Structure 1
Amino acid sequence: MSNMSISDSIRGQIPPIHPEGYPFIGGFALASLILFWIWSPLGWIATVLTIWCALFFRDPVRVTPVREGLVVAPADGRISMITQALPPSELGLGDRPLPRISIFMSVFNCHVNRSPVAGRIERIAYRPGAFINAELDKASEDNERNSLVIATADGRIGVIQIAGLVARRIVAFVREGQTIGAGERFGLIRFGSRLDIYLPEGTRALVAEGQTAVAGETVLADFRQGDAGRTFRRD
């Protein structure tokens, strides 16, 4: 294997970094150099944190299943809750409980968020709030959040970025009126958080609580099939 092909292979194994992460990675790297000069053990600790920060802002290529009616995961993480819940009022999705799938992102997950469906971004609503543990159900109502409503041929879907215990900044890459494809990037949350997806009434989840979701790839639901739902077993 030539040197060129070896380097290409190595690059293929290292996911790209999202530009939002450059200032943070640079800050950690600078701190590492300073701490090495002060006391080398601190420098090594800071180096480990620099590597973690780079992993946090990784933005790997994803292969999204493309078909009308599919709903894919908007975030990497663990499916922490599948329930019926009243959507936040700013979504304008009505005053009746809707199917909700929640995905919890730890500080080790990739935090670039992707659209669960293809459609038009009908509404974006930001709401400041608290920073309690994003795994708690009340985080949906109390925490800082940024909400999107995406209009599709099969109904309107609510996607909510919820800040967590560590997160302090929700970043959006899209605007109202914009058309977006399934799996396309629409934002990120810095340092631990949660995504809630509100689906049209009667939609059945095709995933289970505790399952690992991959943004842009894991199918959460399918509007176009008469699937009565799936059963799951745990090993």
Structure 2
Amino acid sequence: MDLPDRDLYTSPFKSLVFTNDPPPDLEAKRVEEFLHNHLRELSKQDEEIARVSALLNQLTNKRRHLQQYITAHQGILSPIRTFPPEILTEIFMQTLDDAYDVFDTKRGPWALGHVCRRWKDASRSSPALWASLSIENLHLQPQLRHANLPAILEDVLTLTSNQELSITYSLQSVIISDTKHSSKNHRLQTLWCNQRADSWDILQLLFDILVADYRRPGGVWLHWSPLISPLAFQHT
């Protein structure tokens, strides 16, 4: 049976509760019996709290799963599913930065392809979406050390088709370390370490590495940090 509401002012031991007087032996035994009953009630309440908490967790999980189930089916009616690919592409163009990190496959236009097959097809069929690329931060991404960077770059250049390219980079981020370009890499490192090296030699070597096999009517813009003015190369 539940005990009555507790109020220190109605306690049968009020005179002892509000003082530091020692209880007589008989009174001490009564207090021990009194506490035993209340501790037993406290234990019952702890058990009830645990039961209700477990029930609450169960209901919370059921609600979360139901919400996920509903949300997944609500997506079927999403208006964006009815957008034609050209509208999707235009939306994609408006959401991206001016230049994306070409080797960061979790961001930029790469991320669009992780949403669904339709978005992936739409993004990969839009050359303009891939044409403004950056390799400025490669030296800050040690996790890419073992990635097949030439293959990634080749994939992007293929996706850009004949679109005009805009490539932004810094000398710290020069890449391509496969056999095909190993000798150029060695020469580039030598030029970069030589303070007397002609900047145009370095620029020409970078250009050879990045776009040697990709001739396109639109041309290629190379933005060399920290140069202010971009340089344009037009294939004729």
TM-score (norm 1): 0.22
User: TM-score scaled by structure 2?
Assistant: 0.22
Q: Which one has more relative contact order, counting CA pairs under 8 Å at least 6 apart?
A: 1
Higher gyration radius (CA): 2
Q: Please identify which structure carries the higher helix content.
A: 2
